[in-house]
Structures are given as structure tokens and as C-alpha cells.
Chain A
């Protein structure tokens, strides 16, 4: 094991100056971070930022161009095989076998990690029950819903009770109830001591689950810190959100020109957000919107969250990131 980052727990994932190019494109560019044992570490960034490429290098599906990776104290930069038994891997899409049943898939995955027949069958039944799939266990995966496939893919990732779990966009594209259940399962696994490396583009998911977060943009980590420290940056901010009747093109520029102490940016739908270190006076902003020919349908105060930190640090609108991701349909492909 490596040295503890903060003296509390040994480092189980240590990445130094990791880089990867695809032709002229620097997909990952000098990424350095470490994850302590038992930590739930979030890797947050927009589509194409390099999250999946970084994860693929960690798990052995991609070769690093340069830099080093140490997992469980073993240098696996060139050869990940000696540490793959420590890892549970949940990709962004199901990679299970449609021709096998849910139970058959879990047993097969257990066998890949050397589990004996009795052990893997018992564990498969336990996981099917835990993930609410006991009744569907004998059905072929091809007949499962997206949420069921996602749950089974996570179950397959932890069939051998790995000490380190890699999760790539675990809740993308599934219904709210399944997503909530999966988040609870991730939190439970972390509470039981599993180290979790989570890539996501859902900022609220990362905020809710992770202890520390790395923001990655265009292949580079722009900030790593605990969620608490990151939120400290915005705790004293005042944010007002204005819902407009039509897209407010150029409105933010007008707001910041008239009120230089305000920061203005577009949010989801026809919304703008106005941010200040002091309470925002709504009246002057409303008048400016009306002068510009716009109409405000609703104004409300927003409690500062990690989303504001993300926007401030990366300059990327979180909603734009979410919509881009969902439009692209699938989570990875970076």
C-alpha cells in the first residue's frame, strides 16, 4: 500500500502524470490523484473530458501513454493482470450475456474470478435478492428492462466482493427509482469499506455520495478536494434564478454590464442565474429584463451547491453537460 494521503487510511489507487493520446487528441493529459482505502472518490466532468479513458487505463482496457498507476500497492502501469482480482468493474453499459439468465450471468462472472460453484451460486442468489431481481433470476438477460440490466451489471461487478469498485456512470439512462436504489447500494458498499471510484456527470449524485471529487475537463484535472471544502467556496454566495418566457440571448452580458458586482450565467431551459457575495436585489434585475423585452415568469433563491462550484471552476454549464450526455445516449465513449 502507498502512504496515507491524510494519515487516516492507506492509498489503494495512486495515479501519477497519467497521459493518453488518440492521434493528435490528448484524451488524458497529466492526471495525478490518489484514492484512500474505503474512500468514495468521484471523477466528475463533461462528455469527452477523459473520465472513461482514465478509468479504462486504471482497469486495464487501455494502455497509458505515459505516467504510472499503482493499485493495492502494485505497479500495474504496464500489466494490470496482477491486480484485476482486486477490482470490481461496472461499465457504463451492460456487458453481460443476453443469452444467459440473470443467475447464469452472475455465476459466470463469479467463475471468472475463480469462485467455486457452491460459493458463486450462493453469492448470486444473495445479490439477486439484494438487488430486487430474485424473481427475474431465471429469466434471460435479453428480457430485462434497462434498470434491471443496470442493477444486474452492478451485482456482477461485486460478485467476488472486490475491495475496489470502479463505477462508470452507474445511474445514466435509468428510472428515478432504480437510480435511487443504486445510489443507496453504492453508499452501503462504501460504508462497508469498499473503495469506490465513481465517474459521473450528475453533479448532485457526486455531491450526495462522494467524500472527495476530482473535476476533469479536456483531459486535465482542474480541481480535487473534499466535497465539504468545495462547498465552502460557495457557502456564502447568494444565487437567484429567473425563469424567462423566452431564451434570454445576450441578457447575461447586459446584466453584468449594468451590475458589475453580479455574475450571471444561463441555466437549464429559459433560465438565468445571478450570483453575488451579497443578497441579490431582484427589482433592478427584473426591470433590466423587461427593458430588454423579456418577461420573468418566476424568480427564486437557489441554495448554493456543488453545481455552482463546478460552473465556477470549469466554466462549463452543468445543465449543458447533462443535456449533451443524455443526447449522446450512452455514458462513455470518451
Chain B
């Protein structure tokens, strides 16, 4: 069997059925813009503060664009039993889940490109290290998507997927060093920060946009890769244990 056909079919179906739907596109566009506007007004600075805001807006766009959408769509399909159809197809579970998550990863990356495109018009982005930025965006999108998959496997109801997503996302957002440096957090909270994947993604974004990363680049990339592998592995285990009873 040509395995490319089912994998592409799953990705194309998800893009059409979920990610390219007007409500999701508008959510993907509006949410990061609102966040950017809020921090822009809060900072009280001029256009020169845009590069400072960019890492946070990119991270928020990816995180919110991927986790809840993936966890909700997978939970929805599981609840409606259409996910069974995928489990019964002659496709290895690893490949199936990669195809299932690919749409959310692409959606997350697309969400990150929008604030960058706007920033390119209003600020000087010549100092950006594009290679690091691209790798950071892809890795954050993959880690956030796999977090969404982990959430989907852990819950049974769609509303639980939303609630559980926020349980992870909001603390992560404020503890990862995007908006407040980890050094200003109370000592007892810092280990929590370093246990979050977005901390390493945020550090990469800071380094790529402003050159202000604090951790060595190999450590950031390495830890993010480990998080991706762990979240994906645990999710696969969850699918095997909970959905193939």
C-alpha cells in the first residue's frame, strides 16, 4: 500500500474540515493581534518596542493556535467514533498520529507568520537571526501540537479538552520568561519554569529576535526536541492503552 496516500488524505481532510474554517482562521488572526495590541499599549513605547514584543506574540500565536484546536478536534472525532476509522486503517499508529498532528503544526506555523509579516512593515527586523527563528517556530509548533495531542488522549469530553488546555497554557505563558524574565520570578517558581517546553522556545525566540537568550542554543534545541519526543511518545502510549482497550 502507498502509505503517502492515507497520510496526505488525513492531513488534507483536517485542513479542510477544521483548520481552514473561517472561525478558526479568524481566531488564528485575531488572537495574536489582540495580544500584540495589548502589550504594545501597555508598554507605552513607540514602534521601537515591536521587536521586544515579537517573541511573545509569536509564542502566544503558536501555542493558542495549536493546542486547543488539536485537542478539541481529536476529542471530537473520538467522541463521534470517527477516530476509530483511522485506528482501523492499515496505517502504523506513529504515522497516523503524525498525519493527524501535521495540520495543527502547519496551522501553528502559519499563525506565527502573521505577526511577523505585520512587524516587517512597521519595524526594523534586520537584526533577526532567521535560521534560529525558523527552527524555533517549527519546534514550538511541534511541541505545542504534541501537548495538544497529550491533552486529547487524557480527556474524554470536548469541554475537558478546552479546560485542560488552559490548565497548561496560561501558567506556561507567564512562567516561560516571555513577558517576565525568569530571574524576577520567586526562587521556588523557577524550577517550574525550567520544566516547561515553552521556556526553551521563548529563549530561542529572544535570542533570534534580540540576541537576548540566556541559555546555550544547543540546550534550548535539545530540551525542546526531548519534550517533543516525550509528549509524542506518552501520547502514543495513551492511545494504545486507552483507545485500544
Interface residues in chain A, defined as those with a beta carbon under 8 Å from any beta carbon in chain B = 59-63, 81-82, 84-85, 87, 89, 91, 93-100, 108-109, 111-116, 156
Contacts and interface: CB of A to CB of B under 8 A. Distances in A.
Interface stretch (B2-10, B37-45, B104-112, B183-191): B2-10
Interface in B85-120: 85-92
B244 A62 contact: yes
Contact of B90 (A62, A93, A97, A113): A113
Nearest to A84: B90
B240 to A, nearest CB: 9
Contacts of B85: 95-96, 109, 112, 156
Contacts of B5: 111, 114-116
A113 B81 contact: no
Contacts of B90: 81-82, 84-85, 113-114
Given A81-B90, A109-B85, A95 B80 contact: yes
Contacts of B126: none
Contact of B9 (A87, A89, A99, A111): A111
A249 B2 CA distance: 63
Contacts of B10: 112
A184 to B, nearest CB: 25
A84 B88 contact: yes
A60 B88 contact: yes
Range of interface residues on chain B?
A: 20 to 34
A14 to B, nearest CB: 20
Contacts of B86: 112
Interface of B: 1-3, 5-6, 8-10, 13, 17, 80-82, 84-92, 244-245
Nearest to A89: B88
A100 B17 contact: yes
A97 B13 contact: yes
Identify which of A62, A89, A96, A114 gathers the most chain B CB atoms within 10 Å of its CB: A114
Nearest to A114: B1
B9 A60 contact: no
A24 B84 CA distance: 26
A61 B87 CA distance: 7
A158 B10 CA distance: 19
Contact of A96 (B3, B9, B82): B82
Given A61-B87, A81-B91, 20 more contacts: A60-B87, A60-B88, A60-B244, A61-B88, A81-B92, A82-B90, A91-B84, A95-B84, A97-B13, A97-B82, A99-B17, A100-B13, A108-B9, A108-B13, A109-B85, A111-B9, A112-B85, A113-B90, A114-B2, A114-B6
B245 A62 contact: yes
A91 B13 contact: no
Contact of B244 (A63, A84, A99, A116): A63
Top 5 A-B pairs, shortest CB-CB distance? A111-B9, A114-B1, A112-B89, A84-B90, A95-B81
